[in-house]
Amino acid sequence: MASTDTDLAPILDTFERRPETLISLLQAVQGRLGYLPPEVLGTVARHARVPRSRVYGVASFYSQFRFNPVGRHRVAVCRGTACHVRGARLILEELERSLGIKEGQTTEDMEYSLETVACIGCCGLSPCISVGDEVSAKLTAKKVRKLFKNAQRSAHK
């Protein structure tokens, strides 16, 4: 896509045109756009001189890369052992209902993205979620409803 190529040119120009730059290149592009739209994979492939399938393979292998836009607030539900045994599944289900999206999706107003993570680091206060840099601990479904009562109820298409 021409406009994407133009937007990304200053970033691409800082990387040598060789396969070894692929991961750094993907990180830089995602840093600029917030995610990796499908049309940029070809641009990255041409620049790094690798097949598009390799770019897709690398980007889908590493969890740091995203193919969908993320919201202004990233809501991460801990699915670690301590949180799991104290009801993380119910917390995730309540968040999905409150936000009107499933795990991996973003609300239509681009306010919230919902994801799960391995551990937030406050296991003694489980179950926990983080919203951006803030952690909410000892959650219940009722607390989740209260926290997100004004959130958007439809998913980004």
CA angle 152, 127, 121 (to 5 degrees): 105
Point out which span in 17-25, 36-44, 101-109, 116-124 binds ligand FES (CB under 6 A): 116-124
Query: Quick one: DSSP state of residue 126?
Result: -
Min dist CB 100 to ligand FES, Å, is 24
Q: Is 131 in the site for ligand FES (CB under 6 A)?
A: no
Nearest to 148 by CA among 118, 117, 107: 107
* Interacting residues of 142 by C-beta distance below 8 A, sequence separation 6+: none
Q: Record the tokens describing residue 7, joined without a space.
A: 């937007």
**71-100 binders of ligand FES (CB under 6 A):** 78, 80-83
Min dist CB 17 to ligand FES, Å, is 43
Residues that bind ligand FES (CB under 6 A): 78, 80-83, 119-123, 126, 128
